[in-house]
Amino acid sequence: MILFYEKNISFQYQVIPSLLFLSIIISDDRYSEVSKMDQFLSECQYEILYQWLKHHLPNGFIDSKNEWAHSLTTSYKQYHIEVSFYDNGVIEETINDTSNGDVVYYIHFLFLNFNQSVKILKDFLIYLKSLTIQKKNILICCSCGLTSSLFAEKLEENFKKQHMNVHIEACDIHTLANKSSNYELVLLTPQVHYYKPQLLQLIDKPIITIPTTDYACHNYNHIISIIDSYLLKEDI
């Protein structure tokens, strides 16, 4: 019995390591196959993402490829616009103002998943659309037109800093109905918010009421983001 028991122990010591080694080899092979499949799926998504962007970009973009990247480029007015998909998974978005050499938009990021990348590219498309829209004329209205004149000037300056093609003028509430036909959008200062229901019946223009805190604190960036939601609509 003792000899038999010792033989079993010896056999176990010989066989178990061999089985473990074989199991490790099989596991490594399976892991390698899974890794290859993950890489293949990631490459497929990367190509689909490129085609998705190509489909959503305006006409005029040139599709090109070199040994490092696949790119979509175009020139619009004074802007050179380029989106590059590098072979290492990095996506780069660039908009240069060729009139002064400024880089007005730049971001690069690593492709991790499709949804994350689509979100970043959608932001690029929104900004690109703001560059390509025709000049929009905005009329800002207050009770007498004095305080809104300075506000209109500062707001237009901030639009220009963001390279957005917008012209803003001021008027008083009594001349608004006659002037509004030459403008795509009307802004009401807090002092005349209560006129909005009446004005909607008089003029066929979108009317935005400027939030009181934004107006009082000169929060131009937030006001611009509100206006953007109107300017980027196709029906304006």
- What is the C-alpha end-to-end distance of the chain, expressed in Å? 96
Instruction: CATH number of the domain at 220, please.
Output: 3.40.50.2300
8-21 mean pLDDT: 49
Full domain range(s) for residue 95: 1-132
The verdict on 163 and 177 lying in the same domain is yes
171 lies in some domain: yes
123-144 mean pLDDT: 84
The verdict on 127 and 14 lying in the same domain is yes
* Residue where a domain stops, chosen among 116, 132, 148: 132
Average pLDDT, the chain: 83
The verdict on 79 and 158 lying in the same domain is no
The verdict on 124 and 21 lying in the same domain is yes
Instruction: List residues bridging with 72 in a β-sheet.
Output: 63, 83
| pLDDT tens, residue by residue, 170-229 | 999 888 888 888 888 999 999 999 999 998 988 888 899 999 999 999 999 999 888 887
38-51 mean pLDDT: 89
The verdict on 103 and 86 lying in the same domain is yes
* Residue where a domain stops, chosen among 132, 167, 188: 132
* Residue where a domain stops, chosen among 88, 107, 132: 132
120 lies in some domain: yes
Counting Cα atoms < 13 Å in the Cβ hemisphere of 97 gives 13
Collect all residues with Cβ–Cβ distance below 8 Å to 184 and sequence separation of at least 6.
Answer: 136, 137, 138, 205, 206, 231, 236
- Report the candidate in 57, 116, 119 with the shortest Cα–Cα distance to residue 83: 57
236 lies in some domain: no
CB 9 within 8 A of CB 1: no
The verdict on 74 and 123 lying in the same domain is yes
The verdict on 38 and 55 lying in the same domain is yes
167 lies in some domain: yes
pLDDT of 71 over the 60 cut: yes
Instruction: List residues bridging with 139 in a β-sheet.
Output: 169, 186
**CA distance linking residue 203 with residue 31, whole number of Å:** 67
pLDDT of 122 over the 70 cut: yes
The verdict on 109 and 167 lying in the same domain is no
The verdict on 6 and 56 lying in the same domain is yes
CA 127 to chain centre: 7
The verdict on 23 and 126 lying in the same domain is yes
CB 141 within 8 A of CB 170: yes
124 lies in some domain: yes
The verdict on 178 and 212 lying in the same domain is yes
pLDDT of 164 over the 90 cut: no
Number of domains in the chain: 2
Q: Which of 33-37, 51-55, 152-156 has the lowest mean pLDDT?
A: 33-37
170 lies in some domain: yes
The verdict on 38 and 88 lying in the same domain is yes
